[in-house]
Each structure stands twice: as C-alpha cells, then as structure tokens.
Amino acid sequence: MTEPLVSVLIPTYNGERFLRHTLRSATTQTHRELEILVGDDASTDRTPEILAELAAADPRIRVIRHEQNKGPWGNPAALLAQARGEYVKFLLHDDLLVPECVRTLVRGIESEPGLHLAFSRRCLVDTDGRPVPGHEFPALADRPGVLEGRELGDRMLVSCSNLVGELTSVLVRRADVDPDDLLRADGALLQILGDLAEHLKLLERGGAFYTPRVLSKFRVHPTQNSQNGAFMARGVLDWPLITDWASRRGFLADPALRQRARARVLQVAAARLAELAEGPDAAPVLEAVHLAAAALVEHAAGLPVDAATGLAERAHGPAVGAVVAQDLRASCGRFPVGVAAPSPSHDELAATLRAFHDIRDRGVAGRFLVAATAADADAVTAALATAVEDVPGLDVQLVVTDEPARLVAGPWLAVAAASATWCRDSAVRWRLPEPADRTRCTVGDPSIAVTGRRQ
C-alpha cells in the first residue's frame, strides 16, 4: 500500500546552530514518502550553505529562498502555499522529531473518518537536545485515541494553556489549512498563539487523534522569540482576543464555562502586569487587562455580542464605554428600584428620566421613585409631567419626603450627580451629568400620570 505524501515544512531564519539536527530528524523518518520544504527567510548566517549541502545529499529537500524577509508569520504561510502533500507537518528550525513521528500521526489521523488533526505529547529539550528537568508535559490520555474536538478546545481556553502544543507537535491535512489565514484570528496575526488558533479552527470541525508517546521535542534556548520578554509581553494580548474569537465560533458554549475562561484570561494578564510593573513592555499587557475586563463587563451588563465584531473593537466601542462610565456595581448590578431626588429644573428632570430609561433598558432596575420635599412637590410634579413626554413607558412614582436618603438605605439604587449629597452614604450610585442650571421651574402640565405619596 502506497504511503501518502507528507510535506514537512521547516521555516528558518539564521538557523545554522540547530538546522542540521532538525533536518536529520526529518530525513530519518520511518515514513519515507516525504517532501521537505525549507523556507530560508533571507538568512545572513551560514544557513544557505548548510541547506545547499543537505539538499544535494537528499532529493526530498527543496529549499525556498526568500530574498526579502517575510517574518515569522509570512515564511510558514509561503511554505504552506507550495506544499504538495496530502498532509502537512510543520517542523520549527530548532525542534526535533523522533523517527516514528510522521508515520504514527498519519496512521492516527486516518484511524477514523472526520479527523482533521493528529498530535502527540512533546517534551522540552535544551541546546544540547537533553530533556529539561521539571518541565514535563502531562499526558492528556493514558493511551492513543481520539479526543473530542470542542471539549479539547474548551479545556485549553479555560486553562489558558496550549495543550496541543507548538506547530511542531501536529500533523494536519493540507486542504484544511488556508495559507492566507494562517496564524490569524479575526483576520489579525497573533503574536504567540497563532498555533492555538490553527488548532481551534480544526477542532471545531471534529475530533483529534492523540498519543501520549513523546514524538516531538521543542527546544528552548536564549535566542528564540519565546525567551524574549518584550515579545512575550505582546503575546499576552493574544489570550483575550483568541478566547473571544473562539467563543464566537462555538467554543465555550456553556455560559459558566465562558465566564471561567474570561476570568482566567484576566488573571493571567493581571499577573503578568504585576511582574512588569511599568515600562514599555507593560503597555500591551495593560491592554490585555482592559480587553479581558471588557469581556467580563459585556457579560455582566448583558450587552449583545455581534459574532462578526472582534473584542478589540467592542472593548473600545460606545456600548462598553457607556457601561464603564458608571460605577460597575450600578451598570452591571440588579436593583428593585431606582431613586432620584432632582430639583424642579426641567433639564435636570429630563436627564433623570433619560437615566431611568437607560437603567430600565439595561435591566438594572424596572421601577423608579422621584423624591421631592413638600415645598417642591408641586413644582416637581409640573416639571415631571413635561419631561416624561420624551421618555414614555416608565414606571415612575413621586414620593414626598424631606429625607430621600432613607429611600436608599436598603438595596435600592441612587440616581444622582456626583455632587449630590443626599445619597452620599448610599452604597451604589448611578451618576447623572452635573446639572448646569438648578433654577426652579414651575411651568408644565400638572396632569402627569404618576402616583404620589408622602414619606
């Protein structure tokens, strides 16, 4: 039986130190039907000479030299576009495959119909290729088999951990991966989680074959991007973006699970921010904290999420902005009644009623009280009658009292400007704009449809 052709794709830039070892791990695979494409991204060291020597010795090696550097995202995409195999196996230029890797993963992905991804346990090795003590990855299962796709995706998102691993760890069908969308979510390139985005795109389509046997080795050394503090700080920003993107693709369907994932992202970003304290590397992490918090705010405030709009746009948009402009205990809370004590000014009453309207539409409160002193009751009633015409359908009750603070002593929401003192001891306040004019207004329709009572 003829083995399917597998394209082993090796993107490299200045990879002279480890390239021979990496290519040897590809050429010694027990699965022999291989094409080995190496993308030399305009290297300035001895990489071109090493590749020319190795390609002359093995006709399966084809070198694609980029005269201009395409970067860590463009180089893999260019290789994928030229791959001819039925399956694709990425191999980063400093990583290693064990000899049975490709054969095992090909047999795994073909073991059941509908599988789009095969991967194995991996290990970390140092510059000499020796396992890094204390950094063993736990097995996801105790025997080879199929893992349910969405369940595995949810596990990764809730834990903020790429359990599948780097590109070196997986084998995929070439037809399932789009070079133009490689390493992207919502069309944007990801700094460090592009591999996770690719895994999730495939896991949403079906299950994955997994073996707990270590078949790939991820090398850690000081010159790689994952050891660059500034690069990894920017990468923290990937977590809120990819979690939101994945949830809009059907992952984290359980609302409780989705909230756990969002809270975990905020925890990861905040912990990283605490490590950095301040400085140029802190800015992208601070943005990650903002995005993670915005996702939680959206949920708490019950804001609708457009499946076509990414978190970065929504988090800086007017809907989230309006929520965070208030005390979040108010804009994301639930109260039986909202209470205001405005002056008889038509403008102030109109602003109060508009706030009542927003509060009702957001589900924060459904009933409202307007408190007025006995001296102001008639004037407030008249002004209220005029103002309510602009915001119909509100359940508003007029209460005559000289002590409006008593109305918010319990779990009721105060609705007042920041300068208002009547509710200064209230636990939660929905802030109104500061009134520009507190002059009394006695003009209005006295037939306002509100009930009144005296406290």
pLDDT in tens, 337-388: 999 999 888 888 889 999 999 999 999 999 999 999 999 999 998 888 877 7
* Overall average pLDDT of the 151-172 stretch: 98
pLDDT digits (tens, 9 = 90+) for 58-69: 999 999 999 999
Domain span including residue 81: 6-224
Bridging pattern class, strands 184-185 and 208-219: unpaired
| pLDDT given for residue 451 in this prediction | 44
pLDDT digits (tens, 9 = 90+) for 163-205: 999 999 999 999 999 999 999 999 999 999 999 999 999 999 9
The two structure tokens encoding residue 45: 């060291």
Confidence of residue 126 (pLDDT cuts 50, 70, 90): very high
Asked whether the predicted pLDDT for residue 395 surpasses 70, the reply is: yes
pLDDT digits (tens, 9 = 90+) for 258-312: 999 999 999 999 999 998 876 778 889 999 999 999 999 999 999 999 999 999 9
One-letter amino acid identity for 359?
I
From residue 306, alpha-carbon distances to 92, 157, 325, 332, 360 in Å are: 36, 20, 21, 19, 22
- On whether the CB atoms of residues 170 and 117 are closer than 8 A, the answer is yes
User: 174-182: which pairs have CB atoms within 8 A and are 24 or more residues apart?
Assistant: 174/7, 174/80, 174/83, 174/85, 174/86, 174/87, 174/88, 176/116, 176/201, 176/202, 176/205, 177/80, 177/88, 177/201, 177/202, 179/77, 179/78, 179/80, 179/81, 180/77, 182/73, 182/76, 182/77, 182/80
* Claim to verify: residue 35 and residue 108 sit in the same structural domain: yes
Confidence of residue 43 (pLDDT cuts 50, 70, 90): very high
One-letter amino acid identity for 51?
L
pTM of the predicted model as reported, rounded to 2 decimal places: 0.87
* Claim to verify: residue 183 and residue 43 sit in the same structural domain: yes
* Claim to verify: residue 19 and residue 133 sit in the same structural domain: yes
Q: What is the CATH number of the domain that holds 382?
A: 3.40.50
Residue at which a domain ends, from 173, 190, 224: 224
Q: Residue 393: exposed, middle, or buried by beta-carbon count in 10 A (0-12, 13-18, 19+)? A: exposed
- On whether the CB atoms of residues 231 and 192 are closer than 8 A, the answer is yes
User: 269-276: which pairs have CB atoms within 8 A and are 24 or more residues apart?
Assistant: 269/236, 269/239, 269/240, 272/233, 272/236, 276/233
Residue at which a domain ends, from 171, 201, 224: 224
The more confident residue out of 26 and 222 is 26
Asked whether the predicted pLDDT for residue 73 surpasses 90, the reply is: yes
1 assigned to some structural domain: no
Q: Is 72 helix (H, G, I), strand (E, B) or coil?
A: helix
Confidence of residue 1 (pLDDT cuts 50, 70, 90): low
Q: Is 118 helix (H, G, I), strand (E, B) or coil?
A: strand
pLDDT digits (tens, 9 = 90+) for 431-452: 998 876 444 333 333 333 344 4
From residue 107, alpha-carbon distances to 66, 102, 249, 258 in Å are: 34, 9, 29, 34
377 assigned to some structural domain: yes
176 assigned to some structural domain: yes
The neighbouring-strand residues paired with 88 are 7, 172
CA–CA gap between residue 300 and residue 135 (Å, rounded): 38
Structurally, the chain folds into a number of domains equal to: 3
CA–CA gap between residue 103 and residue 30 (Å, rounded): 7
* Claim to verify: residue 28 and residue 153 sit in the same structural domain: yes
Percent of the residues in the chain that have a pLDDT greater than 70, as a whole number: 94
Residue at which a domain ends, from 176, 195, 224: 224
